Amino acid sequence: MEIVDPADSLQRKNEKLQVIVDALMQRAEQTSENSSYAYVQFERAALLEAQVRKRTADQERVMELLNESNQRLAEANEATELAWSNLKEATEAIADGLALFDSNDKLVLFNQQFCCELPDVSKQLRNGLTFIEYLKLASQSENLVLAPFTSPENWIDWRLGQHRKKRVQFNLVCSLGNILQIQSRRTSTDSTVVLHSDVTDIVRQERDRLIDQQIIHLRETLNHLDQGVCIFDNKGNLVGRNRRLESLLDLPPSRFSKGLTILTLIDKMRDQVMFFGPFSLSDLSEWVEQESNRRTIEFEVTRGGSTILSVFGQEMPNQGFLLSFRDVTAEREAGRTLAEMNEALEHRVKERTIELDQALAEAKRANASKTRFVAAASHDLAQPLSAAKLYIASLADGGAVQNASMQNVVDVAKKAETALQSVEQIIEALLDISRFDSRLAKFDRQPVPLNAVLNALENEMVQQAQAKGLAFNVVGSSLIVNSDPGLLRRIIQNFTSNALRYTEKGKVLVGVRRVGENARIEVWDTGQGIEPEEQKVIFEEFKQLDHGPHDTEGLGLGLAIVERACKALRHPLRLRSTPGRGSCFSVDVPIMMKPVLRVIVDAPKSERVAKDAISGLIVLLVVTDQLLSSALSTLIEGWGGVALEVASETEAISLLEDVDLVPDVLVLDGHLNEGNTGVDAYDAITARLGTLPTRIITADRTEEFQLQCLERQLEVMYKPIEPAALASFLSIIANT
């Protein structure tokens, strides 16, 4: 039993206890002092007071804890309200529309921007709205375009399918023309965040950028046209043109920068052009003034009295129109020229008849000359052929050489080889003369550095000059000329060899002087000179001057070939000579400043190569023709080298992989049977083995093939191959 009600407040409890104490004290005073009952009551009252004080202290501690908890709860509620307020403010500060659906797909948060593009939907949004209810509201909006969906239900089904994904992004079009981008993302608590973004400006900017790019491409295309093009809208204002129009119409760019109308253009044409034919300026004005259904027009005008322009006009789909101007002056001039040529045809036919009669007479004289030429050539060919036949017969006769020494056999073989070389020289000379006489002959004209030709000539002739005790000087030149490199070298070589042959003492000088746009290559000597009456005879076939025992050294065809080569190449040939003092042969070659292709021209003749000149050198031959490959292999092995023969790039790669060997030199045919070239084979082999010394052997003199070799710094040896040139190249590699 408790004296006070625990539900009372602390103050009320204290008041009750105070009343109880006062009552007990009064009763104790009224009772006799010796009464034991009163004492007991007093003790009981004191005990009750102690209990009341303890309970009061406990109650005070409980109240303090309760007050502290209430304060913390209030602070937490205040922080929660502040955080929620900040979240609401943050969502409202976002330019895009934002909504949050909880894990049960109920709307718990959204800002004012959400669905603002759909005002009839935004007014009905509320917390607790389910996602399906939100979709139904959106599908019923008058401002939403649901195409290509056939009904709102189809769109809702599609949207629910997208809602199940973790991330979704798509665009919706509103009836006002703006584009709404919808983004939906799942959170870690399975809630869904939905964002609405107006991307109309972004889409329009991208579309404008693409349109600008197309306009730039169109403008660049128009600027590359040879025609002047101008495009006008349906009001006659200029909306597009190209740069060619300015030059054709003689209009300054400032006129276009200020704007140009079709009326301004017509006024300009009225002042500066003249119409001819059925179409007039009034017809053009009438055509321009039509609002639609303009027919295609085409007419010609003359500007400045000399320039003829063809004008073409056509209507555009937007009722604008296009005018194009094309300069046809050259075409019309060609037509007039053709008419003049037709008028003069009869006169030219008569002149041509006279020329043909003269040509016929010349052909008869040439035929007679060729008959004499063939007879002389047959006589000169018969002598070395007979000698070679006799020498070979003596070798074939075993009895004749049975007791002869090896040196005698070698001497006989050398004499037979010399006789056959004479035959080869005569045949080559005859072929050259025949080629020069043919009007269909073609020459390999290209940039030729004179220094390369002169240096090769000096190396070839210096020993011959030293053997005769002559001073031989070659003055170099940095000029580049336009000529056939092989023929030019042979022309200069012939001049020089004749100078050395017919000069007994003194010197021979080879030099170049610049004469206008030509390089004049001169060969001076201090020989006996040539009499005036003999200066024309020396250029005839098989004609040699009677100047002593050295006459038999030549064939009498050198200068005949030179004269025909210079005539075919249109290089003027000159001869100045003073009897008893010497001569100067010269040729004028046009100068040409262009890059020079590294090409080995006709190699100089040289003595027989030593047997072990390239001892141990490994040469990989990739040559299609079996006879040529075998001949090259025989030569290389005769010089002490090792030849590996293959016929294609594939065989070369296979051989190198099988033998695991790196050759010292590559000799590659220019064109192989597999459709590849020697350049392709070089690329394939060096890709595996690295860069190797290489020569390309070919008869292809086209610039395209030479450029391929030049790009890889590959030097070319033209067929027929000169053994001395090949031996020189291999010897350099072997001694490196």
CA distance 470 to 276: 78
* C-alpha closest to that of 563 among 533, 530, 585, 595: 585
Least confident of 292-306, 370-384, 673-687: 370-384
Tokens of 298: 């085409």
Tokens of 13: 């409890």
User: Is the pLDDT score of 39 beyond 70?
Assistant: no
Quick check: 528 and 502 in contact, CB under 8 A? yes
CA distance 132 to 138: 10
- CA 375-381-386 angle, 5° bins: 125
More confident: 395 or 494: 494
Strand ordering across the sheet containing 471-474: 471-474, 507-515, 518-525, 582-590, 573-578
Q: What is the reported pLDDT for 342?
A: 81
403-to-207, 395, 400 alpha-carbon distances in Å: 103, 12, 7
Tokens of 526: 């201090």
Name the DSSP class of 203.
H
| Backbone φ/ψ region at 398: left (φ over 0), alpha (ψ -120 to 50), beta | alpha
275 forms beta bridges with 301
Tokens of 83: 């955080």
CA distance 639 to 604: 19
Q: Which 3 state secondary structure label does DSSP give 482?
A: strand
Q: How many residues appear in the chain?
A: 736
Q: What is the reported pLDDT for 332?
A: 82
Least confident of 97-101, 259-263, 443-447: 259-263
Quick check: 597 and 706 in contact, CB under 8 A? yes
User: Is the pLDDT score of 188 beyond 60?
Assistant: yes
Q: Which 3 state secondary structure label does DSSP give 239?
A: strand
Listed in sequence order, the DSSP H helices in 312-344 are 329-343
User: Is the pLDDT score of 302 beyond 70?
Assistant: yes
Long-range Cβ pairs for the range 93-101 (8 Å, 24+):
96/195, 96/196, 96/197, 96/198, 97/195, 97/196, 97/197, 98/193, 98/194, 98/195, 98/196, 99/125, 99/134, 99/193, 99/194, 100/191, 100/192, 100/193, 100/194, 101/131, 101/191, 101/192, 101/194
User: What would the pLDDT profile of 225-252 be if each residue is shown by its tens digit?
Assistant: 778 888 888 888 888 778 787 777 777 6
Buried b (16+ CB within 10 A) or exposed e, 280-305: eeeebeebbeeeeebeebebbbbbee
Q: Which 3 state secondary structure label does DSSP give 96?
A: coil
Q: Which 3 state secondary structure label does DSSP give 262?
A: helix
Report the run of H or E that residue 664 belongs to, with start and end: none
Q: What is the reported pLDDT for 481?
A: 92
Q: What is the reported pLDDT for 456?
A: 81
Q: What is the reported pLDDT for 16?
A: 74
Number of DSSP helices (H) and strands (E) in the chain, helices first: 22, 24
Quick check: 635 and 590 in contact, CB under 8 A? no
Tokens of 291: 């609002």
Name the DSSP class of 722.
P
User: Is the pLDDT score of 140 beyond 70?
Assistant: yes
Query: How many Cβ atoms from other residues are within 10 Å of residue 16's Cβ?
Result: 15
Tell me the pLDDT of the chain averaged across its residues. Answer: 78
Least confident of 187-201, 331-345, 553-567: 553-567
Name the DSSP class of 537.
G
Report the run of H or E that residue 240 belongs to, with start and end: strand 238-241
The backbone torsions φ and ψ at residue 464, rounded to the nearest 5 degrees and listed phi first, read -65, -40
Tokens of 89: 């403010």
Q: What is the reported pLDDT for 552?
A: 41
Cα dihedral sign, 268-273-275-279 = negative
124-to-116, 127, 135 alpha-carbon distances in Å: 11, 10, 12
Over residues 345-359, the mean pLDDT reads 81
Over residues 259-282, the mean pLDDT reads 78
User: What would the pLDDT profile of 672-728 be if each residue is shown by its tens digit?
Assistant: 877 789 999 999 999 988 999 999 998 787 778 888 888 888 888 887 787 888 888
Quick check: 491 and 465 in contact, CB under 8 A? no
Q: How confident is the model at residue 189 (pLDDT cuts 50, 70, 90)?
A: confident
For 576-620, give the DSSP string.
EEETTTEEEEEEEEEB--SPPP--B-SPPP-PPPPTTTTTT-EEE
Least confident of 58-72, 338-352, 542-556, 628-642: 542-556
Question: Which amino acid, 526?
Answer: T
* C-alpha closest to that of 511 among 498, 527, 496: 496
Buried b (16+ CB within 10 A) or exposed e, 683-722: ebbeeeeeeebbbbbbebbeeebbebbbeeebebbbeebb
More confident: 549 or 212: 212
Q: What is the reported pLDDT for 588?
A: 95
Q: What is the reported pLDDT for 395?
A: 67
Q: What is the reported pLDDT for 551?
A: 43
Over residues 506-520, the mean pLDDT reads 92
Task: Measure CA 100 to chain center.
Answer: 55
Report the run of H or E that residue 419 belongs to, with start and end: helix 406-437
Over residues 171-185, the mean pLDDT reads 83
CA distance 192 to 164: 10
CA distance 303 to 217: 31
| Burial (Cβ within 10 Å: 0-12, 13-18, ≥19) of residue 368 | exposed
Tokens of 276: 């001819």
pTM, two decimal places: 0.35
CA distance 598 to 714: 8
Query: How many Cβ atoms from other residues are within 10 Å of residue 633's Cβ?
Result: 18
User: What would the pLDDT profile of 404-458 be if each residue is shown by its tens digit?
Assistant: 566 666 676 766 666 666 566 556 656 555 655 555 556 778 888 998 888 888 8
Least confident of 81-90, 221-230, 283-292, 360-369: 360-369
User: Which residues have CB under 8 Å from 153's CB, separation 6+?
Assistant: 139
